[in-house]
Amino acid sequence: MNVNSQPQKLYWDSSYEIALQLIETYPDVDLDSVGVDQLYRWVVELPNFADDISLVNEGILQAILQEWYEEANAR
């Protein structure tokens, strides 16, 4: 077991890691019904999210949603 097993801090440019955390947190969500406002709230509410919330834009949220969709469908 890794001694440094603290959760990795998440930043807006960590779209893949954010997507993995969202999959764990919201395993049964219908991704087709997730809007950018809801996605934004879910990301900033993640316990290890550490970035400045004002740095987000729609492109970042779309990238996170795309990663989430791709990873969820690969499982």
- What dotted CATH number matches 15-74? 1.10.10.600
- Token readout for 63 is 């990238």
Model pLDDT for residues 20-38, shown as the tens digit of each residue: 999 999 999 999 999 999 9
In this prediction the pTM is: 0.88
Domain boundaries, the chain: 15-74
Rounded average pLDDT over 58-64 = 97
Contact residues for 57 (Cβ-Cβ < 8 A; gap 6+): none
